Amino acid sequence: MNDVLERPPQAAEPVVNDTQRTATEPEARQFVTFRVGDEVFAVPMAPVQEIIRLPDLIRVPLAPPALKGLANLRGTVLPVIALRDTFGIDEVEPNDATRVLVIDLGSPVGFIVDEVSSVITAAPEQIEAVERIESTINSQLLLGVVKQVGGHELVMILDFQRLMDEQFQGLAAGAADNAASQVSLGQAGSPEGGLQRSTADDGGDEMQLVSFVVAGQEYAIAIEHVQEIVQVPPDIVRVPNTPAHVLGVMTLRTRLLPLVSLRCMFDLPVEPLTDQNRIVVISLGTGSDQLAVGVVMDSVSEVLRVPQSQVDPIGRVLAQHNRLAEINAICRLADGRRLVSILSAQKMFENPGMKQALQVSDQETVAHEAVVAEGRTGASADDDAQMVVFRLAQEEFGVPIDTVQEIVRVPDELARVPRAPSFIEGVINLRGAVLPVVDFRRRLGLANSQRNDRQRIMVFTLNGTRTGFIVDSVTEVLKIGHRHIEPAPTMSVDQARLIRRVANLEKAKRMILLMSVDQVLDADEQQALHAAAAA
């Protein structure tokens, strides 16, 4: 597999000056010196665990730019940070001189440097506190300077602890967090999104995980949170005005399921869906409180049984600003050559983007129920609702037939209105009255399209102003049974206001997004519309 790590080779020992090692003064101190860009730095010898060549790295999605990935250091998960990125220096390709300093900061962290120079010994009078230093880094990150040593006028002593505290929220506390997290890993439903332990036949503690691959990296999630695994349907209903990672909704038996792309959530390159893709239906909660979402993966690998001893908490260093909160731990397989990132269902559902896609507030639920109840009022004897169905891009939308004033062709020319909002295409003369016309695609953030004979203008009355909306085509007037109409999943504030219901026609394999016409434009947009009509 692409994410299998080989054991990182050991670097050659740095060049050491024997005369420097033999300090005549008892208070002399030893430092490891290294270069980053044009600057030379030093670090006290004590916290330096070892110096290695740059190992193979597993990229961590949503990581800070300086965090280059994770390495397997003899069974230990080692975060590796590039000091060039941390200092804001342009990146260069690694070469034979590139090294990783493994520093003990409560837990080991690797720092990529351009080269390691030597081990030096400095007398007390050569070490001074930092005052004025012109360099590429903030002098607050320095412990001091060493003068006239190793052929350099000044060598800056870098404070790795302060660097981590400022940029990675304090790695020193990570060791304590790791110990606490190790306990929570065995507690299903814990606030930290712990994983369920299962007792194996030999009495050892194990976790059961479903593993899957995204962009060449392997992830897993506790099996108790995996409801099922299904293929990607041929048609996904796209919902306008939703975050990029929300692909749309699909019908899963008798319910609607929002679909989320893990590639987009983790800021990985987006690729077209293929037959290899699978949807992992992840759930949280029980009964009426259960939340469920379909997460699109590149492929599903296997069900793993992992001993607790092979699982390491991710640590705070990888959770800058909670950007990696979804990754709960790393499990080491195949003697540490295979690293699998364990996702926390609890933390995934706490992601702001997931909340937009999954959580419907009490007010929204009441509003949805009110809309459904309102639709049933005045329904025909056979309990059907009449909807005018139209297309935008590849999706079908519907509006109640009594909200549509008329449907007209798009004229060859529209009069442009100066300083009008971008979504207002212009105005037309409709039987002696000025009709402002809105490009519905542009209003919903969809791609523009060329004018063609199939397009139509649907005329509604919005807050007393007759308004036309250009749609790709008007397809039919459809009677839809209310048993097929259900609340739409909430994926964004705008979408929740505009699209409250969905017609789920399972037998016909169709989904029609039902719009609330009075919510097509907000108050400011309607004011701009009035101004355009009066122009």
DSSP 389-428: EEEETTEEEEEEGGG--EEEEPPS--B--TT--TTEEEEE
CA 525/CA 11 separation, integer angstroms: 64
**Higher pLDDT residue, 239 or 209?**
209
CA 269/CA 285 separation, integer angstroms: 31
Task: Judge whether residue 532 has pLDDT over 70.
Answer: no
21-30, 188-197, 268-277, range with the lowest pLDDT: 188-197
Helix H or strand E segment including 92: none
Task: Judge whether residue 95 has pLDDT over 80.
Answer: yes
Residue 61 confidence class, pLDDT cut points 50, 70, 90? low
User: 18-167 has which CATH code?
Assistant: 2.40.50.180
CA 182/CA 311 separation, integer angstroms: 8
Helix H or strand E segment including 16: none
CA angle 181, 186, 187 (to 5 degrees): 95
Tell me the mean pLDDT in the region 431-457.
Answer: 87
Residue 296's φ and ψ, nearest 5 degrees, are -85, 125
CA 105/CA 111 separation, integer angstroms: 12
Which pLDDT belongs to residue 13? 41
By C-alpha distance, which of 453, 479, 469 is closest to 388?
479
Residue 82 confidence class, pLDDT cut points 50, 70, 90? very high
CA 226/CA 294 separation, integer angstroms: 10
Task: Judge whether residue 62 has pLDDT over 80.
Answer: no
Cite the DSSP H helix spans in 339-399. Answer: 345-350, 352-358, 362-376
CA 83/CA 158 separation, integer angstroms: 11
Q: Where are the domains of the chain?
A: 18-167, 187-358, 362-534
DSSP 4: B
pLDDT digits (tens, 9 = 90+) for 363-401: 333 344 444 444 444 444 446 788 999 998 878 889 998
CATH of 362-534 among 2.40.50.180, 1.10.10.350, 3.10.129.10, 2.30.110.10: 2.40.50.180
DSSP 233: P
62-76, 107-121, 152-166, range with the lowest pLDDT: 62-76
CB 23, CB 123: distance < 8 Å: yes
CATH of 187-358 among 2.40.50.180, 3.40.50.2300, 1.25.40.10, 2.40.50.140: 2.40.50.180
Q: What helix, strand, coil percent values describe the chain, rounded to 5?
A: 20, 40, 35
Which pLDDT belongs to residue 533? 62
CB count in 10 Å sphere of residue 87: 19
CB 92, CB 373: distance < 8 Å: no
CA 94/CA 319 separation, integer angstroms: 26
CA angle 388, 393, 397 (to 5 degrees): 25
CA 192/CA 451 separation, integer angstroms: 53
